[in-house]
Amino acid sequence: MSKEPDNELIVVSNRVPSPKSSGGSQGGLAVGVMNALQKNEGLWVGWSGEIDENRDAQLNHYEFDSVRFATFPLTETDHQTFYIGFSNEVLWPLFHYRPDKVDYSRENLEGYLRVSQRYARHVATLVEPHSRIWVHDYQLIPLGFYLRQAGINVPIGHFLHTPFPPWDVLRILPDYENLLRYFSAYDVVGFQTKCDLRNFEECMRHGFDATFHDDGTIEAEGRRFRAEAFPISIDLESAQELARQGVESNIGKRMAQSLADRTLVMGVDRLDYSKGIYKRFLAFERLLEKAEHQHGHVVFVQISPPSRTDVPEYAELRTTLERIAGHVNGRFSDYDWTPLRYLNRGYSRESILGFLRLSRVGFLTPLRDGMNLVAKEFVAAQDPEDPGVLVLSHLAGASWELQEGALVCNPYDTEGVADMLDQALNMPLEERKERWQRMMDVMRNNDIHHWCRQFLGALSAVQH
Ligand code: G6P
């Protein structure tokens, strides 16, 4: 007898994977949570990606890739204030240690709270006595608080996919006390790394006068909750399988042909200033200056699908990257060699994983990143007999787990990154295999299913 679908696990995030948009532009949240939900029955609630002026629009229920979804549209004003204005012009830069890019207004804060309340109203209609609610990321931090206000008393967890900043950065935000208050409405609060967790604890201590109990719980606002690090990961087997298929696909074969035996260096990131793409291009230019023997032999392919194009910082970055890519190619290209291919569009996950398998170097140098799942996908995608080398920023959450095998660099040190890229390009096969094995061992112990079990296990342990 088949089981009736129930709402035991309700996942809420602003972005849900869209059948229409190409994988690369959706970021790590959509990939990670989709992988997690495919093996766990659950209902995923989020923004439909559409704009509609009807504030009372009902949830649209549908199924896609074996996951059940319930989505609703946002009004233009809500999109402008909640998504663009507060989530992406205040919280995103602040959480990525970039206060210089913060553009705060009270109107946007009000929009942020108004939309969180709207989410709460929708989610409240779905809750059953045995539901557990799992809220994702910086766009929806107040959701737990509003659900509690609506009398919802089931376990609610929050996982932050971005970094969490130190106390002195957080308090740049006017009204930061309320942001901390919202966290205390959850039962379990999850972060990517121990560093994010430490920052959060420091903020709760100094900014909110919370009490830390011996059993590991934090007490604030008359509630006790747990805060822990749960580093997100990927579905290892499915990534390996997709990578093998990707190489054999038409696109994979054409990519290999186009390289004509040249060595491939690959970067894949949403077009975002936190990803350090500009500095990465400079480091590649520096490599070409220093290592003439690489001329004609190395091709750096950077895939950066446009992201958050309505936010001015992102539009500016796009122009800057076009300029520097043109400059590097203008300086070094030859009649039969273009060193830098900058692709400003998304590709299917299968194609991306296939490209990663073809690469000798995964070049991922964010200036700050919650995790960077592409780093883990790069490792999973490799051919065990001839694996590539990961050059990874030490400011990506992934470096905590992958540091034993990756070449870990400081993305601000252009000279150092160029040297590391050179080292990666010259690394002997034996060392490549050893380093890859070390990273795979870590990833086998913490794949997406382990991540999901750990978080939901912590949430299930909550007594109400
Ligand atoms: C990052 C964030 C996600 C976000 C994604 C794509 O991975 O952590 O919350 O969904 O970027 O950004 P977007 O603004 O298009 O949702």
Stretch 47-75: mean pLDDT? 93
Q: Give tens-digit pLDDT for 401-431.
A: 999 999 999 999 999 999 999 999 999 999 9
Mean pLDDT of 268-285: 98
pLDDT tens-digit readout, 186-231: 999 999 999 999 999 999 999 888 999 999 999 999 999 999 999 9
Q: Is the CB of 372 under 6 A from ligand 1?
A: no
What average pLDDT score do residues 264-286 get? Answer: 98
Q: Please indicate whether residue 137, judged by its CB atom, sits closer than 6 Å to ligand 1.
A: yes
**Unique residue bearing structure tokens 């949240």:** 29
pLDDT of residue 20: 67
* pLDDT at residue 1, as a whole number: 40
Tell me the mean pLDDT in the region 361-370: 98
Q: Does 137 qualify as catalytic in the annotation?
A: no
- Tell me, in angstroms, the distance from the centre of ligand 1 to residue 14's CA: 8
Is 50 exceeded by the pLDDT of residue 2? no
**Tokens coding 455:** 């978080």
Beta-carbon neighbour count of residue 400 at 10 Å?
16
For ligand 1, atom 3, name the residue with the nearest CA.
29
Tell me if residue 161 is catalytic.
yes
Return phi, psi of residue 389, to 5°.
Answer: -110, 135
Q: How confident is the model at residue 291 (pLDDT cuts 50, 70, 90)?
A: very high
Share of the chain above pLDDT 70, in %: 97
Q: Which residue has the tokens 């972060």?
A: 191
pLDDT band at 55 (very low <50, low <70, confident <90, very high): confident
The answer, yes or no, to whether any atom of ligand 1 lies below 6 A from the CB of 162, is yes
Cα 94 to ligand 1 centre (Å): 15
Is 23's pLDDT higher than 90? no
Strand order, beta sheet including 407-409:
340-343, 298-303, 263-268, 361-364, 389-393, 407-409
pLDDT, mean over the chain: 95
Residue 181: both structure tokens together: 């208050």
Q: Is the pLDDT of residue 26 over 80?
A: no
Distance 369 CA to ligand 1 centre (A): 12
Catalytic residue among 187, 369, 419, 447: 369
Please identify, by atom number, the ligand 1 atom nearest to the C-alpha of residue 26.
6
> What are the tens digits of pLDDT across the range 116-143?
999 999 999 999 999 999 999 999 999 9
Does pLDDT of 44 surpass 60? Answer: yes
One DSSP character per residue, 209-242 reads --EE-TTSEEEETTEEEEEEE------HHHHHHH
Ligand 1 atom closest to 136 (CA): 9
Asked if residue 5 has pLDDT above 70, the reply is no
Model pLDDT, residue 54: 92
Q: Tell whether the model's pLDDT for residue 3 goes beyond 50.
A: no
What is the percent of the chain where pLDDT is above 90?
A: 90
Is ligand 1 within 6 A of the CB of residue 28?
yes
